[in-house]
Structure 1
Amino acid sequence: MSYALTLEEMTPALRVLRLIAAECAHLPAPFVHLTPIEPERLELSLHDVDLTGDTFNVFELWREALGIDPDQVTFRVQGNGRTRVLRATGPYGGADVTLTAYADAPAAVTTTTGGAA
């Protein structure tokens, strides 16, 4: 299988990226992923982009701007519980957009039993 597409063949994802750049310029910049394997898909990912450390707040800003239904959001934990992940996919500007946010999980609370600390 060959993935040597022309830019013209990647028009759906490129068009939506241009639209997002125009309409969402006020939002923190995500990582952007395009692939000739799925030329109709654009992936945006957020990695600790907010100064408060709450990437999920920025995820919500992006989700709302893209009009992705909150029911499409999934949550999971990876990296032995060290990383929280939000993910949602929805149509935008003629392409499918997948939005993913990665954030450090809060440190586990350690409790001590028996004896004074």
Structure 2
Amino acid sequence: MNTTPTPTFGDLAVPLTAVRLLLADFPHLPAVDIRVSTIYPQRLELALHDNLAAFEAWREALGIAPDAVACAELPSVVQLEVLTVFAGATVRLCGYAPPVQRSSGAAGTDGTGLYPWEVAV
């Protein structure tokens, strides 16, 4: 028999409060997919699809350093992911986009050919 209490809507107060504050502080930012779950009741997940510039806008607004972003580049998708804390909630910011065909200086705006979160080796 399962003795774990059933989560209540109130158990999601921390991430839902973070959503309210994000809306108040950043109404001009691009819309995101928002996910709150009883599995991780302190977490707020924000996902952006096919728009890495929108991911960058959110990253900057949340004060996340570019080098904190993890990047996974697969044949069909680039996935960016980072965790931060906002208003007491753990925020998981994710961005998904098709891979970019690279040529010298194409990815970044600084002429390096790198995305803002990549480091030259």
TM-score w.r.t. length of structure 1: 0.77
Distance in 2 between the 1:23 and 1:46 partners? 18
**1:85 paired residue number:** 79
Check 1:3–1:69 CA distance in 2 against 1; reply closer, same or farther (3 A cut). Answer: farther
**2:39 paired residue number:** 37
Point out where structure 2 has 5 or more consecutive residues left out of the alignment: 104-121
CA distances 1:26-83 after superposition (whole Å, capped 9, x unpaired) = 01100001101111000000012xxxxxx221111101111223232000023xx110
**Paired letter, 1:60:** E
Could you tell me which of 19, 22, 39 is aligned with 1:20?
A: 22
**Paired letter, 1:86:** L
In the alignment, structure 1 residue 66 sits paired with structure 2 residue 66 = no
Distance in 2 between the 1:101 and 1:3 partners? 34
Aligned residues: 101
Distance in 1 between the 2:88 and 2:62 partners? 12
User: Are the aligned partners of 1:10 and 1:36 in contact in 2 as well (CA < 8 Å)?
Assistant: yes
In the alignment, structure 1 residue 105 sits paired with structure 2 residue 99 = yes
RMSD: 2.0
Q: Work out which of the two has the higher radius of gyration on C-alpha atoms and give 1 or 2.
A: 1
SS at match of 1:71: helix
SS at match of 1:62: helix
